[in-house]
Amino acid sequence: MLSVIIATLDSERALVQTLAALVSGATAGLVSEVLVVDGGSHDDTAAVADIAGCNFTVVEGSLARRLKAGAAAARAPWLLFLRPGTILDADWPGEASRFLDQSAANPRVAVFRRGIPGQSALRDALSLVAAAAFGTRPRPEQGLIISKQLYAQLGGHREAAADPEADLLRRIGRRQSVTLATAASAARQMLD
């Protein structure tokens, strides 16, 4: 159902944490493939991707070029773009599956709720209220679930954009996007 696309560049440590969070989606049958599109890393990003069973490709050039190459190679009808170091909550497969079921007839996109590792339940609830009240714009670190067809209609990630991920979210707009209850958090840096 989902092709996960992760654009990397010297992302070995961050990639480990992101891939670990995807295991529940793979075992639930939601993730059909993970495409790691690398910009020429000098660390062990390729080895991490290989050990995890990802499709690893090196694409020279901009972030937008890598993201578009991943989308073009994806076989599933839905794409999930994640940054290396993004950790999805354990319940993400159920939430994402419900979104996909509901969006079959109505082409929308989804982002995960912004999470902060170690944040208390009260602060978490206040963050949700603030986001609803002030209509904050989705951010690239929240991930993006989008149909491959809608991605193509929008022209994908634009190389001319200074921040191609934020540019795509801006072009999609808030009306076409849904924020899932499941959080996406930035990985804490691993110690040497």
Q: Is residue 9 part of a domain?
A: yes
pTM across the whole model: 0.88
Rounded CA-CA distance 155/68 in Å is 9
Beta-strand pair 86-88/177-186: antiparallel
Q: Is residue 46 part of a domain?
A: yes
The count of domains in the chain is: 1
CATH of the domain at 22: 3.90.550.10
- The domain in which residue 50 lies consists of 2-186
Rounded CA-CA distance 168/170 in Å is 5
* SS3 of 62-86: CHHHHHHHHHHHCCCCEEEEECCCE
Q: Is residue 160 part of a domain?
A: yes
51 by Cβ neighbours in 10 Å (0-12 / 13-18 / 19+) ranks as exposed
pLDDT tens over the chain, length 192 residues: 999 999 999 999 999 999 999 999 999 999 999 999 999 999 999 999 999 999 999 999 999 999 999 999 999 999 999 999 999 999 999 999 999 999 877 778 999 999 865 544 444 554 555 445 445 667 789 999 999 999 999 999 999 999 999 999 999 988 889 999 999 998 765 433
Q: Is residue 156 part of a domain?
A: yes
Rounded CA-CA distance 144/190 in Å is 25
